Amino acid sequence: MLRLEGLSKRYANGDRALDHIDLHVPAGQVVGLIGPSGAGKSTLIRCVNRLVEPSEGKIFLGDVELTALGRAGLRQARRRMGMIFQEYALVERLSVMENVLSGRLGYVGFWRAWFRRFPQADIDRAFAVLDRVSLMDHVDKRADELSGGQRQRVGIARALVQEPDILLVDEPTASLDPKTSRQIMRLIVEICAERNLAAIVNIHDVALAQMFVQRIVGLRAGRVVFDGPPESLDPAALTAIYGEEDWSKTMTREEEAEDRAHEAASEQLRGVRAPLIAEAL
Ligand SMILES: Nc1ncnc2c1ncn2[C@@H]1O[C@H](COP(=O)(O)OP(=O)(O)OP(=O)(O)O)[C@@H](O)[C@H]1O
């Protein structure tokens, strides 16, 4: 589905954020992208939708080479990429429904969008995704009346209404409490399995990534230093990603998180995750 070939990014100030990344993400697979601050995680996600222009290398979404597209082609290709952000990026004064419909802006003409006259089919799509993320009781509320978890579900619904092939997810749980974070990660993973959607999830919380995703890619200084299933993320792998000092902090966080969260959630998670992974593979 998504293929990166020799992807590099050097910013104008000389910072080399990505260094010859090769990565293939098949349809239906959710990849957790981890790594220390400055490793290049956000840059990688932004290169895929070309919010950041790669310096070298190629990116393919299916058969389309994203790196070869002009403006019109890129606009079309972006419809196939649903973005989910840490801070939700909602329009606060607009309703939940209007925020979700904004995910269809890439499809409707300028004037229709200006007057917010969306086709009935788009409105039906919006209701369907709002139902999927359990927000049917909040359709007419303003975005600023919602909790963080509800806002992120609006963000997910807005991405889904695009009917994308891939989700690019940048720190989806960084502003949420631990329980809501697990709910949001579970929702993303379930939806990807149901729709055979690929996803790259930039995530700081290693324990959370391990609980939910099928594959973890570890970046360090712009290079892939780990690529494997969550159960292979052993101390040696964490050292390769975070270095000795940062790694010990990460492990402490992970243990704490597991102590607090695992007991409460693991029964439920075990039941959810196994069939999902089987389905997605
Ligand atoms: N707009 C920019 N201009 C110049 N350098 C940048 C820019 N954005 C990122 N960088 C640099 O590129 C490198 C990778 O940054 P990036 O934000 O992709 O890392 P990250 O892994 O997402 O970090 P974090 O987890 O802290 O968000 C860093 O050295 C950073 O300073």
179/254 same-domain check: yes
**pLDDT value of position 8:** 97
**Best of 8, 13, 15, 250 for a ligand 1 pocket test (most atoms within 8 Å of beta carbon):** 15
Supply the pLDDT for residue 112: 62
Number of domains in the chain: 2
Do 111 and 187 belong together in one domain?
no
Measure 27 CA to ligand 1 centroid, in angstroms: 27
What pLDDT does 90 receive? 80
Q: What pLDDT, on the 0 to 100 scale, is given for residue 249? A: 53
> Which residues does the chain have with pLDDT short of 50?
252, 261-281
Whether 251 and 153 share a structural domain: no
Q: The tokens of 63 are what? A: 């058969």
Q: From the CA of 40, how far away is ligand 1's center (Å)? A: 6
* Cα-to-centroid distance, 200 and ligand 1 (Å): 17
Do 170 and 238 lie in one domain? The reply is yes
DSSP code of residue 40: S
What amino acid is encoded at 36 in this protein? P
Question: Quick check: is 143 in a domain?
Answer: yes
> Terminal CA-to-CA distance of the chain, rounded, Å?
14
Q: Is 42 in the pocket of ligand 1 (CB under 6 A)?
A: yes
Residues 43 and 178 in one domain: yes
Q: What is the pLDDT of residue 111?
A: 59
Say if ligand 1 is within 6 A of residue 43 CB.
yes
DSSP classification of residue 260: I
Distance 18 CA to ligand 1 centre (A): 9
Domain of 201, in residue numbers: 2-80+166-280
Same domain, 71 and 171: yes
Strands (E), the chain: 2-10, 16-25, 30-34, 56-61, 64-65, 81-84, 166-170, 198-202, 215-220, 223-228
pTM: 0.84
For 83, counting Cβ atoms within 10 Å of its Cβ (0-12 exposed, 13-18 middle, 19+ buried), the class is buried
